[in-house]
Amino acid sequence: MQHEQQQQQQQQQKQQLLQQKKSIREAVAINKQIEEEEEEEEEEKEEEIEEEEVEEEEEDMCVDTPQQLKHKHKQKQTQIITN
């Protein structure tokens, strides 16, 4: 009788350990997925920043013609008036 009880307890402990192991694996997988998503978001942000910097550099490198300068000046005046 006692031997059967011991076997049953061992079986229950084994099941509990297996369940804990499974839960830990699931948690690790979720954490890994979260980390990967965060890394992707960070990379996307860095790419956006780089693109903005390149655009700004390209704009800075452009020399406006007198016509473009007049147009920009009119736009600024219009903005000031409307604000």
- pLDDT tens per residue, range 29-41: 999 999 999 999 9
CA atoms of 51 and 21, how far apart (whole Å): 45
Q: Is the dihedral angle over the CA atoms 76, 78, 79, 80 positive or is it negative? A: positive
Over 90: is that where the pLDDT of 18 sits?
yes
Q: What is the pLDDT of residue 74?
A: 76
- pTM value? 0.52
pLDDT digits (tens, 9 = 90+) for 47-76: 999 999 988 887 777 666 777 777 777 777
Task: Give the start-to-end residue ranges of the domains of the chain.
Answer: 2-82
The pLDDT of residue 64 = 67
pLDDT of residue 19: 98
* Cα–Cα dist 40/33, whole Å: 11
pLDDT of residue 83: 62
| Residues 6+ positions from 16 with CB-CB distance below 8 Å | none
Q: What pLDDT score was predicted for residue 71?
A: 79
